[in-house]
Structure 1
Amino acid sequence: MKDEKGFKKCYLATVLTALLSVQANASTVAQEPEQGAKDIERVTVIGARQAYRGNFATLETPQSELSLGSGLLEDAGAFDLSQALDLSSSVARQNNFGGLWNSFAVRGFVGDENLPSNYLVNGFNAGKGFGGSRDLAGIESVEVLKGPRAALFGRGEPGGTINLVTKRPNFEEEGYVRLIAGSYDTYRADIDYTTPLSNELAIRLVGFYEDAESFRDTIETTRQGLYPSIAWQINDNSQLVYELEYSHQEVPFDRGVIAIDNELGLIPPSRFLGEPGDGPMEADVLGHQIEFQHEFNQEWSALVGVNFRETSLEGVATETGFGDVINDEINRFRRSRDYDASYRVFRAEVNGEFELGGLRHRVIMGIDSDKFENDQVFLRVRGDQFINVFNPEYGAYELPELGPNTDRLTTEESVGIFLQDQISVSDNIDIRVGARFDDYKQELNNRRNGSIVNQSESRVSPQFGIVYKSSEALSLYAAFGENFRPLSGIDANGDGFEPNQSSSLEAGIKFALDQGNISGTVAVFKVEQENILVVDDPVAFTSAAIGEASSQGIEIDLSGEVAADLFLWASYTYVDAQTENEFFDANFGFTVEAGSPLLNIPEHQLSIQLIKSSEISGKPVEYGGGLLHVGDRNGFFGTDFELPSYSIARAFVKYDLSSELTVRAELENLFDETYYLNSFADVWVQPGTPRSFRLSATYRF
């Protein structure tokens, strides 16, 4: 593995050297006036299409969607995916695996608790690996696509899908360098530069480096990433884009704080109960994407793409156990993880429209395949490793030797074909019908005992929707869809599981007022899910697919210019998410009653941003702030332990000193509230950051 990581870094250096060399050569050519640069006819880049999406306006789409653009993300002070998703009240934070991955629930439902939440990058499956928390460097926008999407995307989460749209090369030279300093010795540098190399070629180089301490005792992190890309405008109708993704993170494993006798706050949010001597976990990503887009004519286009992404996570951590605090001490155990994952994805689709029988048809059809390999070697030792929760003494015990626990390779492969047709039956009414067929197989190779379990499934995922456009500013819609998600692991007999199944109903109103300056959606939804995994034997690491749950609620999303130079973003969700059946959870040894609330899902969640643009001394200034309210949530599934509600505010001001130089100051958690983001149990609770500041300077060129 170490040799492989060295190869990855050498490969990255080679790519960077090549890109910089090409850019330098292009700059030299650009300085030679005899080349007739003034007479060059600039090739216009064709509009980039999103995979599986087609060409549909917001008001004619029978599902709720949110697009979080780069400007909104900057105003919100968001640097990673979890912070970005706080802007959508439909998304609730889940257990983040000690700060080492993104985990979230959409409309009340989360995926496999033993894997990061899956997300897409330009339509490619990408989130299930072990590359650490996703930074927003290189991301143009974050899309929250609510409701089931299996009819097009394939296997996924019942509540919705998150898609990241990356920054790609432009045929105009531009860029910026940004330097940031903040509380807890946080320092960060970002670069984003794009330039044409010729009439047909353009490159973009995006990267970041961050070094930060924390309000958490002994915790220090380093993160870096690089996202170069190149676009080839083959002709007026065809374009080829290649993108590289590289990141490396060193993050100590941090399970957070504990509640004592069901009460939080008896120890400070800064208290670290792990062992600093374990050192940080290391997470790495090396990914490649290549997409070819071709416009046959104004009505028909094709999109073909390939993705290959490798991730790894390794390190050792000492974690609090699930026992009680006795004589001010709690027991701990020590675990080592060596995880590797690879994702290979291919897709091809055709989009177009035609008239048949006097009706307009807009179709998306295609085929895709993917292969996911999840290689886990897991060591563990339990013992008398106590720590005083009120007065911790790090290094009090010699770090114990680890013993074997898990050694397995899980391989998932699938092929899917899909077809969607949106039929305009009149000037005001569209009907959407679609279906996807997936052929899926899974192999579970338990290298520790030599057993191999194979399983295969075939599933059809349908969707139906209707849109009534009552005017140019208002439409009503309704939709139904089914979804499935494969389950990892084995049962007590060593067999795999039937997939997790769900169905969803949704209805809503979309509007675009004041000539489109104010837009929004009001939606109601209901999602039902069955075959949810629960722990059957925590020692043998077996599970049972016996859980059933449902969620229902209402969402309101609103954004736009509500007054002169005053911009509003508001998102509110009420959701009631609970179990539908009674079952025994062997992980903790108690029965979970029907009607129990799902973990980390608040009934009420609200996100608001208000931004004012103005001038000082004839130069642009922007100021504003935001509020995030998260209601009470269950903090330990099947018990009455709750995380308290919280409301945190932020404020910022941004001033353009010149057309090139911008300075910015921001305050997070303005009123210094103590709050808790998520938990897995009462001994693994993630506290939120106290009041903090950040200063930045951005130079654009």
Structure 2
Amino acid sequence: MKYQATLSMTALALLIGQAWAAEPAAAPAAAASAPAAAASAAEISLPLVRAKGRRENASGPIEGFVARRAGSGMKGDIALIETPQAITVVTADQIEAQGATALRQVTRYMAGASSATLDSRADRISARGGSVDQYLDGMLRSHGFANNTRPDPYTLERVELVRGPASVLYGQASLNGLLNLVSKRPQFETQREVQVQLGSFKRRQLATDLTGPLGEQWAYRLVALKRDSGTQVNHVKDDRLLLAPSLTWQPGADTSLTLQALHQRDRSGSLIGFFPWQGTRLPNGSFGRIPTSTFISEPGWDAYNTDQDSIGYLFSHRFAEHLTLRQNLRHSQSSGDYRTLYTSFSATGRPVFNADGRSLERDLVWQRNDSRMTQLDTQLEGQLRSGGWQHQLLLGLDVQRNVGRDRNLFERSTAIDAYAPVYGNFKPPAAPTEVSRTEQRQLGLYLQDHIKLGSRWVAVLGLRHDRARSDTSDDPDAKVDDKALSKRAGLLYQSGLGVSSYLAYTESFKPVGGVDFYKKPYKPQVGEQWELGLKWQPQHKRLSASATIYDLRDTNRLTPDPAQPNNSLQIGEVRIRGLELESAGSLAGAGLGLWDWTLAYAYTDAKISRSNRSDQGQAVAGVPRHSASAWLTHHFSLAGHEGFSAGAGVRRVSGAWAGSTRISTPAATLFDAMLAYERGDWRLALNANNLADEVQISNCLSRGDCMYGDRRSVNASLGYRF
């Protein structure tokens, strides 16, 4: 595989040199005068075209791996080269080529983004030293923990990672960034697909994606999926039923209304056993490593079952040439039933083996949760010209209400042999009945101006005021009533040849909740970031590259009060500095066929810069300092037959501090691969993830446990487009 990676990088360098000197294969004028070799390369790319002759927009289909526009960073359809913020876009073509079957696999080739832990409960994505919030079509995707329904990549048109704080547009949010999932929407061009997938762990999946016009003013889309599957952990399934219908009404060029609905039913179990350091990261005498397939809960009782239903709309109306109203609404209801037994923390304070060196004490948890979430985001966008200045003004008001009800049960249970489990030695408890109710409300008013000064300069100014309230029925001290003012500013210069450079400042806030020992409410946690970036995206060529450095601070973190053991002070601070490099391309080079690629590298220095504890100056636990990835796909002909493609990828993550001098998360190098053949309306593909079957320890924690990552999986898919 090292030899293959070297060949791939050499071919990539040669391709860029030839493609940059040549005319773009996708341009009609160039195609008419290009030599026969270039014309042949263009023909190879034709089966991959998703939207022929259509101007790219921030929510529609994209051919290849390179997006030129995004909607998440500015809440508007803005060119990435004119956006003073680092944003990474993964297209549906890239998702398909890399065979991503979960959201954590969609983001694995983004610079600095990580989600290696195998977990049925959520696909948690981290970037710039911490977790990022997940949005769907610009609105918060889920609320709560044990009722979280994981998104399916087959329903998505693209995924956009906005790096760093984004509270000016989205309100209370993580300072590390947000991940916006853009759903597939109805198209006025008929496109239909049926797909069958078979793979590792008895995976069987049937999916369909149907879209097209219904007369002149209406278009429909139906995405549906049914899956029955096991997992790499014994007795844990990964079953899913999903229906996502949508309908667009477009009576004219000025008005569009898209109605969306989702019904998703997931049936799974516990993939994480919270195994001790010994037997995972460290030796365990003569017993060796705990097998990655080990299940230490109870078959037939263990479950992680979630249901989600949502309905909403995306509305847009242009009143005049330069004045547009947009309103997005979504109401969702979800429920979760989480039952598990895992390595005990209560018995000894941390997961450890018993004296026999092979049995583990277990804790039992049963959570039954449900939530309702209603969101409304109304935006008024106006475009003004004054002299050589062009303003794209955005005035918005968003409202959010989340209500959750939780039923929890926790108790000690029986021990189990981790190396040869024998099940049935426990008594199932009665279901939890006591209800805890949490209600959260947020109201935000925001104003943003995207200003073009002549043909070279772009400035962005933003301001937002939020009020966030939260109340928990059984914990009066958890009540939150916060107000926050968030700001952003950016200045960008376009120097020609598709190059822009920028400097940007952004802020975030996140309510903490509760009161201190003296009954004084805690202030929101506040983040701020300075970012300096360089982007390259030449016109008429599907090429992009970016380099970003940033300095991010997270303040008002709770830290112990040395004068009062029962109190916490808000003087804690984390500082994160880093470098991110990315490149993507989809090009046809003369004599080289068609190539798609992504390259990424991230350096992250995350430290606790202020604390009352001994951890001041230490690294933030679980954040790898270095990560890098590369993916290359080649479309080619074989024995005179066109439509073949082969791809290979490599991912490298350095080791990470685990919060203890006794343990660390080890480095890992993983390989992925793809083979595909397209002929007419048919596509046959074979995707392998973690090709070398590396046993990855994805995360170790100072509390005493480690988690495994994905083992090798191979999936074959057959699709028919008609």
- Return the TM-score normalized by structure 2: 0.82
For 1:213, what is the secondary structure of its paired residue? coil
Change (3 A) 1:533 1:314: farther
2:650 is aligned with 1:627: yes
**TM-fit CA distance, 1:423:** 2.5
**TM-fit CA distance, 1:244:** 0.5
For 2:235, what is the secondary structure of its paired residue? coil
Give 5+ residue unaligned stretches, structure 2: 1-53, 60-70, 345-349
**690-699 or 272-281, which deviates more:** 272-281
Q: Which of 386, 392, 403 is the aligned partner of 1:362?
A: 392
Cα distance in structure 2, aligned partners of 1:643 and 1:88: 20
Counterpart residue number, 1:598: 620
**TM-fit CA distance, 1:218:** 2.1
CA displacement, residues 439-471 of structure 1 (integer Å, 9 cap, x when unaligned): 22221211xx7x576431211100010001111
Alignment check: 8 A CA contact 2:406 2:435 kept:
yes
CA displacement, residues 405-436 of structure 1 (integer Å, 9 cap, x when unaligned): x7422211111111111223343222211111
Cα distance in structure 1, aligned partners of 2:495 and 2:187: 38
Counterpart residue number, 1:157: 174
Structure 1 segment 373-412 matched on structure 2, within 5 A: 373-383=403-413, 385-399=414-428, 407-412=435-440
Change (3 A) 1:375 1:687: same
Cα distance in structure 2, aligned partners of 1:237 and 1:552: 44
Give 5+ residue unaligned stretches, structure 1: 1-43, 111-116, 584-590
**TM-fit CA distance, 1:493:** 7.4
Counterpart residue number, 1:474: 499
Cα distance in structure 1, aligned partners of 2:313 and 2:256: 11
Cα distance in structure 1, aligned partners of 2:520 and 2:307: 32
Cα distance in structure 2, aligned partners of 1:46 and 1:621: 26
Question: What is the letter of the counterpart of residue 118 of structure 1?
Answer: D
Alignment check: 8 A CA contact 1:444 1:489 kept:
no
Alignment check: 8 A CA contact 2:478 2:514 kept:
no
Alignment check: 8 A CA contact 1:490 1:542 kept:
no
For 1:228, what is the secondary structure of its paired residue? strand
2:596 is aligned with 1:574: no
Counterpart residue number, 2:305: 282
Cα distance in structure 2, aligned partners of 1:266 and 1:604: 27
Counterpart residue number, 2:713: 692
Counterpart residue number, 1:137: 154
Cα distance in structure 2, aligned partners of 1:392 and 1:401: 24
Structure 1 segment 233-252 matched on structure 2, within 5 A: 233-252=250-269
**TM-fit CA distance, 1:80:** 1.6
Change (3 A) 1:144 1:203: same
CA displacement, residues 603-647 of structure 1 (integer Å, 9 cap, x when unaligned): 111121100011233331111111111111234x45542121111
**TM-fit CA distance, 1:132:** 2.5
CA displacement, residues 640-698 of structure 1 (integer Å, 9 cap, x when unaligned): 42121111111111102x31111111222222211123355565433223333211110
For 1:72, what is the secondary structure of its paired residue? helix
Cα distance in structure 1, aligned partners of 2:568 and 2:409: 20
Question: What is the letter of the counterpart of residue 220 of structure 1?
Answer: K
Alignment check: 8 A CA contact 1:283 1:311 kept:
yes
Cα distance in structure 2, aligned partners of 1:606 and 1:631: 9
For 2:473, what is the secondary structure of its paired residue? strand
**TM-fit CA distance, 1:300:** 2.7
Q: Which of 158, 166, 171 is the aligned partner of 2:188?
A: 171
Alignment check: 8 A CA contact 1:489 1:542 kept:
no
For 1:137, what is the secondary structure of its paired residue? helix
CA displacement, residues 17-75 of structure 1 (integer Å, 9 cap, x when unaligned): xxxxxxxxxxxxxxxxxxxxxxxxxxx99967747523432221100111100000111
CA displacement, residues 240-285 of structure 1 (integer Å, 9 cap, x when unaligned): 1011011111111232443218616622222222222423221111
Question: What is the letter of the counterpart of residue 440 of structure 1?
Answer: A
Counterpart residue number, 2:25: none
The percentage of counterpart residues that share the same residue type is 23
Question: What is the letter of the counterpart of residue 142 of structure 2?
Answer: G
Structure 1 segment 128-527 matched on structure 2, within 5 A: 128-129=143-144, 130-256=147-273, 257-260=275-278, 263=282, 266-321=289-344, 322-326=350-354, 327-328=356-357, 329-356=359-386, 358-383=388-413, 385-399=414-428, 407-446=435-474, 451=476, 454-487=479-512, 497-513=522-538, 515-527=540-552
2:694 is aligned with 1:673: yes
Cα distance in structure 2, aligned partners of 1:372 and 1:292: 22
2:79 is aligned with 1:60: no
Question: What is the letter of the counterpart of residue 699 of structure 1?
Answer: Y
Cα distance in structure 2, aligned partners of 1:534 and 1:337: 29
Cα distance in structure 2, aligned partners of 1:300 and 1:169: 24
Q: Which of 101, 105, 122 is the aligned partner of 2:126?
A: 105
Alignment check: 8 A CA contact 2:585 2:597 kept:
yes
Question: What is the letter of the counterpart of residue 492 of structure 2?
Answer: V
Counterpart residue number, 1:123: 138
**TM-fit CA distance, 1:595:** 2.5
**TM-fit CA distance, 1:194:** 1.0
CA displacement, residues 146-199 of structure 1 (integer Å, 9 cap, x when unaligned): 121111122211111110111111122221011011111111111000122221
**474-483 or 86-95, which deviates more:** 86-95
Cα distance in structure 1, aligned partners of 2:468 and 2:318: 32
Alignment check: 8 A CA contact 1:194 1:205 kept:
yes
Alignment check: 8 A CA contact 1:255 1:684 kept:
no
Change (3 A) 1:56 1:315: closer
CA displacement, residues 310-349 of structure 1 (integer Å, 9 cap, x when unaligned): 1111132111122421222221110110111221111111
For 1:158, what is the secondary structure of its paired residue? coil
For 1:151, what is the secondary structure of its paired residue? helix
Cα distance in structure 2, aligned partners of 1:292 and 1:168: 13
Change (3 A) 1:573 1:519: same
Counterpart residue number, 1:35: none
Alignment check: 8 A CA contact 1:605 1:629 kept:
yes
Cα distance in structure 2, aligned partners of 1:542 and 1:387: 39
CA displacement, residues 99-145 of structure 1 (integer Å, 9 cap, x when unaligned): 211222221122xxxxxx63111111113342322211211000011
Cα distance in structure 2, aligned partners of 1:434 and 1:514: 28
Alignment check: 8 A CA contact 2:302 2:341 kept:
no
Counterpart residue number, 2:65: none
Alignment check: 8 A CA contact 2:480 2:511 kept:
no
Alignment check: 8 A CA contact 1:435 1:461 kept:
yes
Change (3 A) 1:689 1:432: closer
2:585 is aligned with 1:550: no
Alignment check: 8 A CA contact 1:204 1:229 kept:
yes
Alignment check: 8 A CA contact 1:259 1:266 kept:
no
Alignment check: 8 A CA contact 1:259 1:683 kept:
yes
**266-275 or 647-656, which deviates more:** 266-275
Cα distance in structure 2, aligned partners of 1:493 and 1:632: 41
Q: What is the root-mean-square deviation in Å for CA atoms of aligned residues?
A: 2.7
Counterpart residue number, 2:670: 648
2:530 is aligned with 1:529: no
Question: What is the letter of the counterpart of residue 623 of structure 2?
Answer: I
Cα distance in structure 2, aligned partners of 1:593 and 1:90: 24
**183-192 or 685-694, which deviates more:** 685-694
Alignment check: 8 A CA contact 2:104 2:116 kept:
no
**TM-fit CA distance, 1:511:** 0.7
Question: What is the letter of the counterpart of residue 578 of structure 1?
Answer: K
**321-330 or 454-463, which deviates more:** 321-330
For 1:202, what is the secondary structure of its paired residue? strand
Cα distance in structure 1, aligned partners of 2:249 and 2:599: 39
